[in-house]
A = this chain, B = another copy of it.
Amino acid sequence: MQKHNFSAGPCILPQSVLQKSAEAVLNFNDLNLSLIEISHRSKDFVEVMDNARNLALEHLGLQNKGYQALFLQGGASLEFLMVAYNLLEKKAAYLNTGTWSDKAIKEAKLLGEVVEVATSKSENFNFIPKNYTVPKDADYFHCTSNNTIFGTQMQSFPETKIPMVCDMSSDIFSRQLDFSKFSLIYAGAQKNMGPAGTTLVVVKEDILGKVSRVIPSMLNYKIHIDKESMFNTPAVFPVYVSMLTLQWLKDLGGISAIEKINNQKAELLYNEIDRNPLFEGFVTKKEDRSKMNATFNLRNDQLKATFDDHLKQTGINGLNGHRSVGGYRASMYNALPLESVQVLVDIMQSIEKGA
């Protein structure tokens, strides 16, 4: 049965990318060798890494603007620490909009003072705080563009003179933004970019080298930049699949093209959540709704078994909400076709009709 994969991450990837990745595991570039058994210093893999780094900057419109793209190991979770290690001298400002921001704050506190400019924690993060002030004397401001667990997404970012750092793990490459407003962007690959195991870091070089501490080699962005993201052995397969996905996005017309489809998917689903009396959204303010992760509940718990059964029969995968929110979460990343959302909406309508 064909699956409709709404998983929150790792998540759906383009079918053509999966096909090419499987082929490369058997025979890469007609070398009669697998992608995963050649040296990372070989011409063939260095080209993959270069392409991946260039494509990332190209999609974000950050080529020739003083930025470097890195593909590191450790996940976004290691970036929580690395950001602070590389940038936090005295004080940093964090906006707390969800579990991931909260974890980023925890790691940063080990290295300096953290000012939480605003938080929606007491409301289980069901909205995005606004009208906060970012202290001018902080070393940087950190935010999470999309809150994967709660289904909120920042629609605007503060104007600030200090470097802005953003965890874009769950909405990178999904919508146009002026990315040059950010001094550092990071994102675990396993949503819009590739398989788990590599993390994209895009950093403006001139913000580095300003802290007084000695930074361990593996945590030091400057060292990774100097070694062109090959200070040590990179995660070859995840980087390759990410490169293919970035190429797929380019062939499709880039972020502006995928954004139109993402808007259609989100509109289709949220309209149904609102219209259908059986369902309600989790996020309190509509303007804070995430186009990547739509969180919603069944108003009547007694229908749960029927709904879940429909989901299963139709091949819908990964729709359970995160344990800290409950209910349902439909993750609609770049590779998810509009058709899958339509299948979900059809089910929502059919249980309304008592089918």
Contacts and interface: CB of A to CB of B under 8 A. Distances in A.
Nearest to A234: B196
A37 B22 contact: no
Interface stretch (A1-9, A129-137, A179-187, A306-314): A1-9
A56 interface: no
A231 B77 contact: yes
B74 A10 contact: no
A247 to B, nearest CB: 17
A289 to B, nearest CB: 22
Interface in A186-245: 188, 190, 194-198, 214, 216-219, 231-238, 241
A210 to B, nearest CB: 19
Given A74-B218, A195-B36, A238-B235, A18 B25 contact: yes
B315 A188 contact: no
Interface stretch (A27-35, A62-70, A251-259): A27-35
Nearest to A236: B196
Contacts of A214: 110
Contact of A25 (B22, B73, B81): B22
Given A74-B78, A81-B219, A22 B26 contact: yes
Contacts of A188: 233
A106 interface: yes
Copies, count: 2
A10 B196 contact: no
A19 interface: yes
Contact of A73 (B74, B106, B107, B217): B74
A351 interface: no
A317 interface: yes
Interface in A155-170: none
Contacts of A36: 10, 13, 18, 21, 194-196, 241
A47 interface: no
A58 interface: no
Given A13-B34, A21-B36, A36-B194, 5 more contacts: A3-B31, A7-B38, A13-B36, A18-B34, A77-B231
Those 4 A-B pairs whose CB atoms lie nearest each other, nearest first: A197-B235, A36-B195, A77-B232, A73-B73
